[in-house]
Structure 1
Amino acid sequence: MIKFMGNTMSISPEFVNNKILVGLAGQQNAGKSTTFNMLTGAGQHIANYPGVTVDKKTGFYRYKDVKVETVDLPGTYSLTSFSLEERVARDFLITEKPDVVVNVVDASSLKRSLYFSFQVLEMGFPVVIALNMMDVAARNGTEINFEALRKNLKVPVIPTVGRKSIGKKELRDAILEVFNGKNHGKIQSPLQINYDALEKPIEDLRQDLAQTTLESRYPCRWLAVKLVEGDSEAVRLVTQALGASCNELQTARRIKDVFEAQNDLDVADYMMGCRDKLATKVIKESVTEKKDGRDRVTEMIDSVVLNRFAAPFFLVLTVFMIYQLSIVKGYELTRYWWPVLAKFRAIVAGFLPDAGMLQDPYVRSMGLWMVDSANALLNYIPIFLILFALIAILEDSGYMARIAFILDRLFNLFGLHGQSTLPFILGGVFAGGCAVPGVMATKGIPDERSRMATILTVPYMNCLAKVPFYTLLINVFFAPYKSWAMLFLSTFTIFVALLVARFLTATLLSSMETAPFVMELPKYHPPTFFGVGQRAVERTWQYIKKVGSIVVAVSVCVFTMLQFPGLGHEKATQFQNEMDQAVTIFHEKSASSSYAHQFKDKAALISLVNVYTDYKTAKLTVKTAEGSRALDAKFQSRYPDLFKFLKPKGDKAAKKINKSLRKLVSKRKGLRRQIKEEQIETSFLGMVGRSLEPLTQWAGFDWKVNVAILSSFAARESSVATIGVLYQQGADENKSLEDRMAAETGGDNFTPLHALAIMVFFAMYPPCLATTIMIKVQTASYKWMVFSMVFPTILGFVVASGIFTGGRLMGLSGIQMMGVFYGLTVLLTIATGLFKHWGKKMTPVSGAPGASIQ
């Protein structure tokens, strides 16, 4: 049991306010998220900080009649201005001025954590130190004298184990005590680092700043330290307030220049040495090591998983397990989830106008189209829940940092970052991901240039929605080479992504800000069920909200472009005459039935046709005799007067109606299919598809392929659905789409070379609209959103044209051209990676085991 050592706390009942703002700050992997969860429980809200893509997690709790708003700041190693997370954390502290700052510190790596603590304390905020991971420190033989640590840091120090909720009450009490002391002027004087030779110049500069308008906005001591240190963000703040030529900036530059000239030492390095000196003193007086202070469990695991020979094996095994559990097993769960979505569709359909004989009311058609579009994405919820849970386990356990460490050297050759691994995994490194969560996951990449390169290359991964299209074309055109074709599609996109990333970071992104790459290898920790489950639900809900809000608008646009301008009067009349003739035949065939008079009315006949169609559709999903009986009972109960025509038993008159009805429904189904095909061909999208043929013929695309590709921009799943509408020959005989497409694309009109060019273009095609919107959200730029559509289109078309036209000129078959193209892509990737690299090599950080910096 963790207890305080000589640090009793009393809470005054007098509070100036009944609501306080708490900022939760700390380094990455210090257990900040578990501390946040411990304090706030389920009362959390996730958004973004205004104007940036960094997560803003806010939680609320009530304690001793005080409502506490807690903001979980981005995990950073410092409060400088290198990375977006650092700037966001520092800007929040400066602008929001929280009542209390809780600094979460890793007790098992106390000295390393103190550097961040010093920066927070220098800002002059009321601070509480949450000394987290006390269980790990105890296991490593580390004993901490909390009273000595409190006296050195001059702030309350509370031992905690966030994942076990140990220290929760004490931490909440400390927050209230510090807040109470602040409001009554009882707060202790803040810790002040002595910068020795620079101390007097810094103090003089502080006094100068205190005489300006900055005094009421920023901590002047902190601002003076940062100006002398040469912090670019501090210079910007002063420049905005006082002008670029103000005396204070000139004084800071003079102090820096004089010191460096006299001592031949960088000011920032000297100030870091002063902080290190203080950290060493604090550790010496506060910490006792009974053992050697090492986590032997972590060392033992790392000796295996980071072994130069075993590391790739464990990495591939981990990725395989992620796909096996989330994509394979998760997809099996969709069999149970899809009926729920189907019931939802049926409920919506019940509120919409009834289907017509030939064409449905516009409201019904559009409403069901919108629901079907949403269901296509919502069907993946089980997959994402499992996927995000597994990612949370990797993050909490500490292995995700190891993955970044293993791959960073390779990715760095192409301008990417070790932390690009997670977005690529989510996007579908081999097959089965989704670019939306992949783009969302780029938030964690601290290097802006690498983050942008990752955002723009994640869509090249093979998302789950592309797989049906690949499967269709491979089964039709590459059936004897299925394994090779799937290997080709699963891997060549990785090489393309690396090549594109290298090109972008060397050209368009070359001027973007880069940050020193610091990568910490945290100690291994067992994940908590609550933490993993909570993050899985949070991330899935974000996906549902951000994708779901787009689907409605997109589906309406696509539906409209596929429906209008609609059938011409002559065609519409032709189809209607055929339908009227089929109805007449129905009446003639069923005239001898005693029930014939019931369906003289047009509305009654349409009702019978719709009920029969619904019944037959529902029958297709029933797999057991018991289920079939239940379905019969359901329809008999709902339609007692019509059920005998659906399943006549011994009633000859009903059988006659049933026989005529089946022919009528079959004719109606064929006519509706023809109408749909005609509408697509003459629709806006269809006309665009035909107008593009003179250009796309170089890549082997006809107008049907053009329409399928255009429609897939809204959602990749619609590509196969559109092809299913366009290739209808044999549908009445229940032929598969593969058989129908093969029947219509025989000969030289559509060869395996055509199919290869289409698949390659589809793999490099711009991201779907949901991903495009997510790119806009993550980059906060319409320019990059448009670029993410235009660049892949041009690149994909050039490559596809080279494959198709080049293959024809060389007389190569589809499978031969596939091998040639794959070989060229691999060789180009290797050559590009070996070419003179502009980045720096990765070297260990001195004094920080398990970390590296670039």
Structure 2
Amino acid sequence: MTNRTPLVALSGQQNAGKSTLFNLLTGARQHIANYPGVTVDKKYGYFNHNNQSYQAVDLPGTYSLSSFSLEERVARDFLCDENPDLVINVVDAANLKRSLHLTVQLLEMECPTVLALNMMDVADREGITIDTDTLSQRLAVPVVTTIGRKGEGRSALCELIQARTSSGMHSGSVENADNTRHENQPYYPALTAAMAELDRALAPLTAQVAQLPYRWLKLKLLENDAQLIGRLAARLSEEQLGLLQSLLDEQRALFEQQHNTSINDYIAAQREAFVQSLIMATVTVIPNQGPTLSQKIDKLVLNRFLAPVFLIMTVFLIYQLAIVQGYELTNYTWPYLAAMREWVAALLPEAGFLFDPYTRSLGLWIVDSANTLLNYVPIFIILFALIAILEDSGYMARIAFVVDKILHRFGLHGQSTLPLILSGVFAGGCAVPGIMATKGIPDHRARMATILTVPFMNCLAKVPLYALLVGIFFEQDKALMMFYISTMTIIAALLVAKLLSVTVLRGEESAPFVIELPRYNLPTVRSVLTRSVERTWIYIKKVGTIVVAVSVVIFTLLQYPGLPEDRSAFYQQRSEQAISRFNKAMNNNPYLELAQGEQLVSLMNYYNDFKRAKLNAKGATASRAVNETFKQRSPEFFPFVKAPKGDKLAKKANRALRKLAKARKSIRREIKEERLSHSLLGSIGRSLEPVTRFAGFDWKINVALLSSFAARESSVATLGVLFQQEDDQNTTLEERMGDQGNNLTSLTAVSMILFFALYPPCLATMIMVRVQTGQYRWMLLALLFPTALGLGVSSTTYSLGMALGISGITMMSGVYFSGLALLLLVGLYPVFRRKQAPDLPTTPQDSHGVI
């Protein structure tokens, strides 16, 4: 055996347990979910057996090796180009007939194959017995049985991998490339003549096609496989390609004339017959008494009347548990974040009387930005756990089936469901992977409509702002508001998709939707918790990278160009006057000696630190501990903040210090307001006020929304600093924004929520729109249209609410039900559908039986 690491590919249909076996072999933590299409790209890993190292590749789940979908192209290109030493064909033992179609195509590609019958426990429960010896003999490939989720079969599989790779045997390969009968593959007698003609045409092109399996190549050419012909076009001259195309067209036409069917249908029928013969020879089924558990559940949750009810209840329950209950947990996590801020503040240079060192201001700005977002970690842990339960239970695939007919009415496709889910139908997603997942949608119209509507979903980065505003202004209506937000974005996406499908995307054909409904499974605690923690960690890493980077940029833009010299001098003069009043009040007080020059600044910072610690202390014991800590920190300053009993001079010093601290606080607030207001970013925000005032947005909100274009999370982080924290406090953003002095109302909050829900995609999503569509005009449309739509809706809502004196929750209800009524009108009224192609039927492929 050579020193080269053998390459082992795992190939199989969706939901066959392929990724589970990949994890079992490599020990890697692979994302595994119980709905089709989870593995959308190749995943690599390594494992060892008997001191031999192997590289494993988890290929996308696919039912065939055609070139109609992204998954099929990725898998087939890998097998053609990488030439793996062994292909582990993972099949669902309880659905062997459907799985063997891929096995047949692997054999026709001459791949060295091993058949892994997975989910044998399920097959046993359903009364299915498989004669593995006969199956191995008929296919001429080794067969091994496994139960991936229980870890059974790994040793036998590894032994088989080592045996097949070390011996160099290419199981399932076909040495001769003619169309004679091969017992381990389908036979195509009606193609004998066409194959012979292709032999003569390809004879001069041996060098150009040498790397491709010859018999498989001829079958795909006769099937008019566009991708394969494209590969040959790069190797052949125009004349050679033209002659080959002419021959293929001639043979296809001749075949249809002679047999009254197409070559593609004939090949599919022969493969079906071959697979059926295998099943008849190797599978015995003892019929179960009555329907299975999954079938019983589906009769309820897929009922045409009850299915929408279950779907709405599921969404409502997710937000009730994750947002409402998770928000309560933030009361316990915030003190730890506040303590972290205090620790960081102690490491930074000391604050000045009026102006702080740049490093201190920047450091605390970054900490405040991060803390504002980290405060929502409990919400995300619960949210991601609930989504993992939906995935692993099998209900996520049912959601796709239930909404398919609705999506078709609005120009979308059943396969649009996964991109919408990844983008955050339930919240917690991201538009970037959502747009990437649209590559599997077969028809162009639905794919483009999905790309342009995916950003309307409630991505992970939008949730902090929603949770913030709902927590401040809708304390009594949290669950209802979050239900409105979650379903409102779906309403907006469907309406926009319909508008696009009858305008810029009209004329594109749709394609039928087929999806497998996996069996219901009981999610494991380990799987749910693992994915919940992993996804939350991704969010935390994003806070530590993108958000921090954006916060630094925003900080710089808010500091430049700074205060003019005359304004700095003005505030300096006011501070000197306040110090003068302090000195006058401390006249003939011996404590005055401790409050002169630089010591006065240290005393003021000491006083503010003490007040914050007292505010955060819970209970009398904690309060006494704070006294002791600060007494040890600076015994000479302690009488200023906690006058000893009977020490009248200390009490007098304490009163004078409080007045000075109050004056300093007021001056510093005015300085920050003026600096932010006249900064570069503040100037942009103010310049937009004439337009945004109709939506209730002031310059601060404008700045926060502008910053969110780089990263959605930055909106809350920016608000967390614009609504500034006082030196002597460590309060939450909710408390600061809820202050009536900020003139924010529930109606303003509704306007912000509506605009943010319809706001253009973030920068990363915009780039992905350009990549997936290949044109800048779609990227510009994705930017300009949502901006106009969001501003129009929020301005109308706020202006109408102010004119009628309506509260925020009432106005939100009005907007929601108006949108819902419009959705029903557009979806049901025949005039809007007259020129559209009729809805194509949804075809569910139920893994536990026909529905």
Distance 1:298-1:744 versus aligned 2 partners, 3 A rule: closer
Q: Which residue in 1 is equivalent to 2:840?
A: 841
Q: Which residue in 1 is equivalent to 2:433?
A: 440
Alignment of 1:301-380 (within 5 A): 301-380=297-376
Partner SS state of residue 323, structure 1 = helix
> Structure 1 residue 649 and structure 2 residue 644: aligned?
yes
Task: Find the partner of 1:608 among 603, 607, 613.
Answer: 603
> Structure 1 residue 194 and structure 2 residue 180: aligned?
no
> Structure 1 residue 404 and structure 2 residue 394: aligned?
no
Alignment of 1:214-229 (within 5 A): 214-229=208-223
For the Cα contact (< 8 Å) 1:20–1:68, is it kept in 2?
yes
For 1:634 and 1:790, the matched residues in 2 are separated by 56
Distance 1:87-1:542 versus aligned 2 partners, 3 A rule: farther
Q: Which residue in 1 is equivalent to 2:618?
A: 623
Task: Tell me by how many angstroms 1:153 deviates.
Answer: 1.8
Q: Which residue in 1 is equivalent to 2:109?
A: 123
TM-score, length basis structure 2: 0.85
Distance 1:175-1:107 versus aligned 2 partners, 3 A rule: same
Distance 1:63-1:156 versus aligned 2 partners, 3 A rule: same
Equivalent residue letter for 1:621: N
Task: Find the partner of 1:791 among 772, 785, 796.
Answer: 785
Partner SS state of residue 372, structure 1 = helix
> Structure 1 residue 532 and structure 2 residue 518: aligned?
no
Equivalent residue letter for 1:647: K
For the Cα contact (< 8 Å) 2:404–2:413, is it kept in 1?
yes
For 1:423 and 1:491, the matched residues in 2 are separated by 16
Partner SS state of residue 590, structure 2 = coil
- Structure 1 segments unaligned to the other structure (5+ residues): 1-14, 47-51, 746-750
Alignment of 1:135-150 (within 5 A): 135-150=121-136
For the Cα contact (< 8 Å) 1:712–1:718, is it kept in 2?
no
Task: Tell me by how many angstroms 1:265 deviates.
Answer: 0.9
Q: Which residue in 2 is equivalent to 1:832?
A: 826
For 1:461 and 1:122, the matched residues in 2 are separated by 43
Task: Tell me by how many angstroms 1:826 deviates.
Answer: 3.2
Q: Percent same amino acid at aligned positions?
A: 47
Distance 1:695-1:117 versus aligned 2 partners, 3 A rule: same
For 2:480 and 2:377, the matched residues in 1 are separated by 30
For 2:200 and 2:613, the matched residues in 1 are separated by 81
Task: Find the partner of 2:17 among 27, 31, 36.
Answer: 31
> Structure 1 residue 98 and structure 2 residue 75: aligned?
no
For 2:826 and 2:286, the matched residues in 1 are separated by 51
> Structure 1 residue 569 and structure 2 residue 565: aligned?
yes
Equivalent residue letter for 1:194: Y
Task: Tell me by how many angstroms 1:366 deviates.
Answer: 1.9
Q: Which residue in 1 is equivalent to 2:159?
A: 173
Distance 1:574-1:847 versus aligned 2 partners, 3 A rule: closer
Task: Find the partner of 1:663 among 659, 665, 668.
Answer: 659
Task: Tell me by how many angstroms 1:88 deviates.
Answer: 1.8
> Structure 1 residue 238 and structure 2 residue 232: aligned?
yes
Q: Which moved more, 1:775-784 or 1:499-508?
A: 775-784
Distance 1:791-1:850 versus aligned 2 partners, 3 A rule: farther
For 1:367 and 1:451, the matched residues in 2 are separated by 44
Distance 1:534-1:718 versus aligned 2 partners, 3 A rule: closer
Task: Find the partner of 1:460 among 456, 466, 473.
Answer: 456
Q: Which residue in 1 is equivalent to 2:688?
A: 692
Q: Which residue in 2 is equivalent to 1:717?
A: 716
Equivalent residue letter for 2:278: V
Distance 1:510-1:726 versus aligned 2 partners, 3 A rule: farther
For 2:773 and 2:604, the matched residues in 1 are separated by 51
For the Cα contact (< 8 Å) 1:53–1:778, is it kept in 2?
no
For 1:655 and 1:847, the matched residues in 2 are separated by 80
Q: Which moved more, 1:262-271 or 1:320-329?
A: 320-329
Partner SS state of residue 723, structure 2 = helix
Distance 1:185-1:198 versus aligned 2 partners, 3 A rule: closer
For 1:414 and 1:185, the matched residues in 2 are separated by 49
Distance 1:60-1:840 versus aligned 2 partners, 3 A rule: same
Task: Tell me by how many angstroms 1:415 deviates.
Answer: 2.7
> Structure 1 residue 415 and structure 2 residue 408: aligned?
no
Q: Which residue in 2 is equivalent to 1:291?
A: 287
For 1:769 and 1:186, the matched residues in 2 are separated by 49
For 2:88 and 2:812, the matched residues in 1 are separated by 58
Partner SS state of residue 61, structure 1 = strand
For 1:484 and 1:329, the matched residues in 2 are separated by 13
Task: Tell me by how many angstroms 1:470 deviates.
Answer: 4.5
For the Cα contact (< 8 Å) 1:447–1:517, is it kept in 2?
no
Partner SS state of residue 358, structure 1 = coil
Distance 1:288-1:769 versus aligned 2 partners, 3 A rule: same
For 1:485 and 1:336, the matched residues in 2 are separated by 23
Alignment of 1:668-817 (within 5 A): 668-696=664-692, 701=697, 703=699, 705-713=701-709, 714=711, 715-718=714-717, 720-721=719-720, 724=723, 741=740, 760-768=754-762, 787-802=781-796, 812=804, 814=806
Task: Tell me by how many angstroms 1:216 deviates.
Answer: 4.1
Task: Tell me by how many angstroms 1:347 deviates.
Answer: 4.0
Partner SS state of residue 128, structure 1 = strand
Task: Tell me by how many angstroms 1:537 deviates.
Answer: 3.7
For the Cα contact (< 8 Å) 2:107–2:173, is it kept in 1?
no
Q: Which residue in 2 is equivalent to 1:8?
A: none
Q: Which residue in 2 is equivalent to 1:154?
A: 140
For 1:823 and 1:44, the matched residues in 2 are separated by 41
Equivalent residue letter for 2:673: E
For the Cα contact (< 8 Å) 2:370–2:544, is it kept in 1?
yes
For 1:332 and 1:752, the matched residues in 2 are separated by 20
> Structure 1 residue 77 and structure 2 residue 63: aligned?
yes
Task: Tell me by how many angstroms 1:169 deviates.
Answer: 0.7
Aligned residues: 816
Task: Tell me by how many angstroms 1:619 deviates.
Answer: 2.7
Give the aligned CA root-mean-square deviation in angstroms: 4.0
For the Cα contact (< 8 Å) 1:205–1:224, is it kept in 2?
yes
Partner SS state of residue 15, structure 2 = coil
Distance 1:373-1:214 versus aligned 2 partners, 3 A rule: farther
For the Cα contact (< 8 Å) 1:374–1:548, is it kept in 2?
yes
For 1:338 and 1:775, the matched residues in 2 are separated by 37
Partner SS state of residue 355, structure 1 = coil
For 1:740 and 1:148, the matched residues in 2 are separated by 77
- Structure 2 segments unaligned to the other structure (5+ residues): 33-37, 176-183
Distance 1:743-1:387 versus aligned 2 partners, 3 A rule: closer
Deviation per residue, 1:205-257 (Å, 9 max, x gap): 36754743443433232222212112221121111221455133333333222
For 2:46 and 2:629, the matched residues in 1 are separated by 48
Distance 1:743-1:641 versus aligned 2 partners, 3 A rule: closer
For the Cα contact (< 8 Å) 1:415–1:501, is it kept in 2?
yes
Partner SS state of residue 241, structure 1 = coil
Task: Tell me by how many angstroms 1:198 deviates.
Answer: 1.4
Task: Tell me by how many angstroms 1:161 deviates.
Answer: 0.5
Q: Which residue in 2 is equivalent to 1:88?
A: 74
Deviation per residue, 1:113-168 (Å, 9 max, x gap): 11122222222221121111000000001011111111122221110000000101
For 1:459 and 1:387, the matched residues in 2 are separated by 19
Task: Tell me by how many angstroms 1:55 deviates.
Answer: 4.2
Equivalent residue letter for 2:216: W
Equivalent residue letter for 1:218: L
Task: Tell me by how many angstroms 1:405 deviates.
Answer: 0.9
For the Cα contact (< 8 Å) 2:704–2:715, is it kept in 1?
no
Task: Tell me by how many angstroms 1:655 deviates.
Answer: 3.7
